[in-house]
Amino acid sequence: MPGTSGLFRPSDAERAAVAESLSVPVVRASDFSGYLDVLRDPANSPLKVMQVERQQRNDCQGNATANGEEYRTWYCSGRQVMPTLSEIYAYQASEFLMSEGQVGKDQGTSIHSGVRLLVDGVSKLGLAAGLPMESAWPYSRWCRSATEFRRYCSGLKIEAAHVTESGPMPDWDGALAAVAAGSSIHIGTLWGVDWKRVGGRRCMDSAPRSGGGHATEIIWAEEHGGQWYLCVWNSHGDGYYLMSRRCYDQLQKDQCEPFGGFLLAPDKMVERYDRITSGGGYFA
């Protein structure tokens, strides 16, 4: 059943499909030397170069999928290339993966469908894992049926995904290390949020327990008043909101049920991190 804000709870078939693709071992913060220093350095932060999104449909999950992949691409290029990927393709391809009959209904998609898109692609259409550029599939292009979607997919160039490892949400320290090492955490939450203010931004300080579902993407972390907060890229025109450790621990405990939450990581995380933090790009 869909959430009232356009986020579906996953079907049993989707849960099974994603479970088969999970590959990341437990992320140990101790494997990533100096990750807090990486996060403290403004030159490493994607927050000022990410595109601010304002969704126009029930496409929050498509936006989150694209946002995480944009950050990973930027990181894997040695923080040189920030692409603008197609959020609306991410949304409609997610619709297609859920059910061809879902394409064009604009009822939302599931967290799991976005994971499948970045890990497996759309094999039925011969499309590799990843997303096209926004220039190849603009936000204004809306397919009203699977037939129309198939037609536009013919000959479509897909930018290869930088997700080659995926797994459950790590613990708090693992989450901080993971985002410092180019990973994102793809999450769905309820959206009856009791917001607080930290550092001039909205902060989700406890896991919402009411309201419709919403998909967002954890891509970075900031320190405020000696406390760390995760930075969660949103699609409501506000860039990002902050998430406290208390909130993250609550969500991680049950892996963001009922919607789901997943770590999406580039391959050879530790090796890539060591190379990039030593001053070189590692675009593979």
Pairwise pLDDT comparison (23 vs 232), residue with the higher score = 232
4 or 113, higher pLDDT? 113
193 in a structural domain: yes
CA distance 66 to 118: 9
Amino acid at 244: S
CATH for 149: 3.90.70.10
The pLDDT, as a whole number, for residue 5 is 59
Which pLDDT band holds residue 282 (cuts at 50, 70, 90)? low
3-state helix, strand, coil in the chain (%, to 5): 35, 20, 40
* Assigned domain for 283 exists: no
Domain contains 45? yes
In a domain, residue 284? The reply is no
Domain contains 2 = no
pLDDT at position 279 is: 73
Instruction: Name the band, by pLDDT with cuts 50, 70 and 90, for residue 26.
Output: confident
Predicted confidence band at 1 (pLDDT cuts at 50, 70, 90)?
very low
Residue-wise pLDDT for 102-145, tens only, equals: 999 999 999 999 999 999 999 999 999 999 999 999 999 999 99
Render pLDDT for 83-104 as a digit per residue (tens, 0 to 9). 999 999 999 999 999 999 999 9
- Considering the domain boundaries, does residue 201 fall inside one? yes
Model confidence at 16: pLDDT above 60: yes
Give the Cα separation of 73 and 67 in Å (integer): 10
Q: What is the pLDDT of residues 160-206, one digit of tens each?
A: 999 988 999 999 999 999 999 999 999 999 999 999 999 999 999 99
Asked, for residue 14, whether it belongs to a domain, the answer is yes
pLDDT tens for each residue of 42-72: 999 999 999 999 999 999 999 999 999 999 9
Flag whether 48 is in a domain: yes
Q: Please state the rounded mean pLDDT for residues 244-255.
A: 98
- Residue that is written with structure tokens 């970075």 in the block: 220
| Pick from 70, 127, 140, 71: nearest CA to 94 | 127
High-pLDDT (> 70) share of the chain, %: 96
The residue type of 111 is: I
Nearest Cα residue to 116 out of 102, 99, 104, 133: 99
* pLDDT band with cut points at 50, 70 and 90 for residue 280: low
Range of the structural domain that residue 247 is part of: 7-277
Tell me how many degrees the CA angle 55-61-229 measures, rounded to the nearest 5. Answer: 90
> By CB neighbour count within 10 A (0-12 exposed, 13-18 middle, 19+ buried), where does 240 fall?
buried
Number of domains the chain is built from: 1
**Dihedral sign, Cα of residue 227, residue 230, residue 234, residue 237:** positive
Average pLDDT, the chain: 94
Does residue 4 carry a pLDDT above 50?
A: no
